[in-house]
Amino acid sequence: MISIETQHFNFNRTLLLAIGLWPHQKSKFGRLQTTLCFGILTSYVIFQFTALITRKCTADLIIKIFSSATFFCFYIIKYNMFWINTHHVRNLLEQLQFICNELKDKNEFAIIKKYGNNAKLCTAISSLFAICSTFSLILLPIWPQIFSTVLHINESRIQSQAIQITTEYFVDQEKYFYLILLHTNTVICIGATTLTATGTMLLGCAIHACGLFRVASYRMEQIMTIKMLQNTNLKNRIMICNKIFYAVKIHRKALKFTDILISSFEGSFLLLITVSVICLSLNIYAVYRNALLGNEEAILLHFIVISVMLLYSFIANYAGQEITNHNNHVYFTAYNIQWYMAPLHAQKMILFILRRGNQASNLNVAGLFVPSLESFAMLTKASMSYFTVLYSMQQ
């Protein structure tokens, strides 16, 4: 027996508990934690847009604010996506546990265990990357202060390195510099945890969906054996029909699981795609503008944003591509077995599987977007196109 939550999603559980998004957390403290985290993320975006009120609105200021604000909006969307869909996340885990409880033999358990270990490894690597990146950003403005006696860097230089994100708190920013820095670092920590926790949770579900399709392929491979082909008596015919039934059953459940995974977050996925394209375009343009001005620190900040968005988008689309490939592999397996040597009624059952394989079997987000490597290339191309538009408008 496999316990999905404790054996395969224990890392994800810890990350989601840290930001109050674990679906089985129903305490008052958990609700307070969720409200506080969401309020901190939202307030930081608001304080960025308030800079448009107190400063002269120029094209450069608008692009500078929106390039960073859209990235932090990405945090908010991801957080809100799991907050309002807590029941969907819980349902996904329950559905996956229910399917795993129906596995038949040790080889099928081994397949799911292998994919579960892959999910845990991806979560661990993503968490390590997020921790290193977060600490680097937090410690960046502190290192000059630590080595001020060696580097001879004054307080104003420290503040200029720290404040690269335009905000307006309607207070003296020099006087309350460390409080503003604390707010910024808190948002970075919560945001990084949110991206890692929610992203690896969805990635883990996608990897387990691939494992379910692999189990379906394994059952398909076991339909026709040499022993059954040599002796097609009534007992073996019944056994063949049962194996076909179990192969189709696990495949249908895997398809249903992936449909639930997509449909539960469909609106949020479309919003994330839109924001990611806008964010990439604006930050690419920001890199170009700051390169002309020689502002190396701002270039580094925008480059980090671009890297995170591209990496996140690539992993999401790669996961979608893998699900499609594993789904198609089920039909390839059905074609490759010696179905033509099976009894006639068994051939008719296999024929339905082969006919289903002729249809396109892709994930589909609201009929508008199909997660795949081709779609990742399309999103990157769209972002570059919008950057070209911004560039031409400034000429």
Please give the Cα distance from 332 to 168 (Å, whole number).
Answer: 59
Averaged pLDDT for residues 277-291 = 92
- At 3, the pLDDT band (50, 70, 90 cuts) reads confident
Q: Compute and round to an integer the Cα radius of gyration of the chain.
A: 26
Q: Whose structure tokens read 């076991």?
A: 222
Please say if the pLDDT value at position 152 is more than 60: no
Q: Helical H runs in 222-358? A: 226-230, 234-263, 266-293, 296-336, 344-357
Range with lowest mean pLDDT among 289-298, 324-333, 338-347: 338-347
Question: If you count DSSP H runs as helices and E runs as strands, how many of each does the chain have, helices first?
Answer: 16, 0
What is the pTM for the complete model shown?
A: 0.89
Enumerate residues 6+ apart whose C-beta is below 8 A from 159: 141, 174, 177
pLDDT number for residue 121 = 95
What letter does residue 340 receive in the DSSP assignment? Answer: G
CA distance 265 to 270: 9
pLDDT at residue 57, rounded to an integer: 83
Digit-coded pLDDT (tens) for 92-134: 999 999 999 888 889 999 999 999 999 999 999 999 988 888 8
The ranges assigned to domains in the chain are: 4-393
